[in-house]
Amino acid sequence: MDAPNKEFALAGSLEELKVKGRLVVHGSHRPILVIYDRGRVYALDNRCPHMGFPLERGSVEDGILTCHWHHARFDLESGCTFDLWADDVPICPVEVRNGDVWVKTTFGHADPAAHWHQRLADGLAHDLGLVIAKAVHGQLAADVPLANIVRQVALFGAQNRDGWGVGLTILTALANLLPVLPEEEAYLALFHGARRVAADCDGEAPRRERTPLGSRPDPAALKRWLRRWTRVRHREAAERTLLTAIAAGLSPAVLADALLAAETERAFADTGHSLDFINKAFECLDLIGWEHAAVVLPTVVGQMVAARGAEESTAWRQPVDLVALCDEAASQLPELFAAGRGAHGWSDHAALARELLGDDPSRIVDALKAAIRAGAAPADLSRSLAYGAALRVARFGNANEHADWETAHHVFTYANAVNQMLTRIGTADIDGHVTAVRGILHGAMALYLTRYLNVPPARIPGEGGEHLDDLPADAETIRAALLDAFDRQRQVDLAARLVARHLTLGHSPQALIATLASAVLREDAGFHAYQMLEAGVRQFTVWGEADEGRHILIAVARYLAAHSPTERAALQTADIARRLMRGGELHQEAGAS
Ligand code: FES
């Protein structure tokens, strides 16, 4: 029996369909449900778009098909769902020829990229995890560039809540990691980023647009104003000033300097999150294009002006006034950098990092001053700070309270953000940029205050001639053992040893990083885990494969091991979506029973 063309398959005779009410067409294609209802024939994907339950086992009434698993309801004619969480069921053309029913076995859309773009918009708007997962998968299958998907989600997030949130930070952190991720992991990364942005925006009022000033003040005035409005917590004024700077076409480096100067009007504000969010907004624009600066950058201003600075905290005032120490050092920065201007080739990054881990705040500040006089640039100092903060995590004592992991984490991600911002700002106009260097002083004091986390310090595996010969030597076996360690609670030290083993044997750090990313992406990871992973990879890139790079990845692995495993519910959603999109039958056994 020949088909009208090879895209069509015979479902059966119309008489048979009328008698049975429904038929299922199996083949190499996805199973197709053909339904006869009130004189018309319909054909749909037999797998419920929610979780794949066979729709042939559902019921039809008044043109509505109801799945009997979670009772999602669908318009029989269009496949559109009445229950948004379930998603629409794909339909396919059906033809009745000479008393036989033929169905087209290929599902698809005339413009898949446009279709899945719209579905992602729907999923984001209604915070529908399964729809988001399918739409991301669909866009990837349609060869939509990764940056386009990131852009769609980022702009949605920037416009649909009043300010930058953790979702946009997670999206940006994961998007930064996309180049080191295999294809399957890229899908997971984008899904996690998008679902967290959608969750952030769920129930929130959209952001209100502000406009730039009508004038074009010079960059120095705009920077002064931004600092002034931040000090007095005048959000509207700060946003209009920033929008004016963007409209004037100021470069990302100049904008970064202005925002970092304003941000550091307060010390270590909101335990470093405010500055980290600013840095992430810049990185987001690097990913999606600076033409979106006026949409994205102002989202950080609300938190920046409202943030609580550490100067309001007792620990920063008693028994040593760390804020006064920072203020005094900050006032000396212009002359310190002037003194260091003739010096070149400063490279004592690791040695400075160890001085920053000292227990005398005055000596810590003195070490920073000495480094500046010796020619260290702001990016050099912040690189040392980030490594020192990573060592704090790498040596985090297991006797500490679990919540203290976050204390160590905050300093590290803050230090990484300061390093990224100061690297972006550069040294072209160091005299004009010294204000932003206050971020290093604040970070150094935050690091000092966390010294108790290393009492006693955890041993860094591989140090002091320690051999790790009890561990496997083969690279893949080590990485499998690492993932296995993340499957169990309290495997902090084992994870650190495996990372040390992998790197000291000279195995690929990129493969190890991909494994760490995979470990995070399969979890219902907390906001900090994404930050930790991405900041660690950034700093590993800065420091390279020497001891320092190894210590940084050990810090990442220890933190992740302390927060694994989780329920992995999001991974299950992503997996269901992937299998539905690939056309597999998820519940054949249920259908056969
Ligand atoms: S409603 Fe159909 S599988 Fe859940």
CB of 67 closer than 6 A to ligand 1?
Answer: yes
Contact yes or no for 60/35 (Cβ under 8 A): yes
Q: pLDDT value at position 392? A: 98
From 45, 59, 67, mutation site for ligand 1 pocket: most ligand atoms within 8 A of C-beta: 67
Percent of residues in the chain assigned helix, strand, coil, to nearest 5? 60, 5, 30
Residue among 53, 59, 81 whose CB has most ligand 1 atoms within 8 A, to mutate: 53
Q: Which atom of ligand 1 is found nearest the CA of 55?
A: 2
What spacing in Å lies between the alpha carbon of 21 and ligand 1's midpoint?
21
Token readout for 448 is 């000092």
pLDDT for position 514: 96
Assess whether the C-beta atom of 74 lies below 6 angstroms from ligand 1: no
Q: Which helix (H) or strand (E) holds 571?
A: helix 569-582
Helix (H) or strand (E) holding 549: helix 547-562
With a 6 Å cutoff on the Cβ, whether 53 touches ligand 1 is yes
CB of 36 closer than 8 Å to CB of 65: no
Kindly write down the DSSP assignment for every residue of 299-322, as one continuous string.
GGHHHHHHPPPGGGSGGGTSSS-H
What pLDDT digit, counting tens, does each position of 452-479 carry? 999 999 999 988 778 799 999 999 999 9
Which distant-in-sequence residues (6+ apart) come within 8 Å of 255 by Cβ? 242, 245, 246, 282, 293, 297
Residue nearest to atom 4 of ligand 1 (CA): 70
Q: What is the DSSP annotation of 375-386?
A: T--HHHHHHHHH
Closest residue by Cα to atom 1, ligand 1, is 70
Alpha helices in 178-208 (DSSP H): 183-201
Nearest CA to ligand 1 atom 3: 51
Cα-to-centroid distance, 128 and ligand 1 (Å): 14
Q: Please work out whether the CB of residue 70 comes within 6 Å of at least one atom of ligand 1.
A: yes
Q: Is the pTM of this model over 0.75?
A: yes
Query: What pLDDT score does 550 carry?
Result: 97
Determine how β-strand 73-75 pairs with β-strand 94-97: unpaired
Q: Give tens-digit pLDDT for 392-446.
A: 999 999 899 999 999 999 999 999 999 999 999 997 777 778 999 999 999 999 9
497 close to ligand 1 (CB < 6 Angstrom): no
How many C-beta atoms lie closer than 10 Å to residue 167's C-beta? 25
Alpha helices in 202-267 (DSSP H): 219-231, 235-247, 252-263
Q: Is the CB of 65 under 6 A from ligand 1?
A: no
Backbone CA torsion sign across 455, 461, 466, 471: positive
Cα separations (Å) of 586 from 30, 66, 553, 581?
11, 18, 38, 11
Low-confidence ranges of the chain (pLDDT < 70): 1-5, 584-593
Q: Are 54 and 66 in contact (CB under 8 A)?
A: no
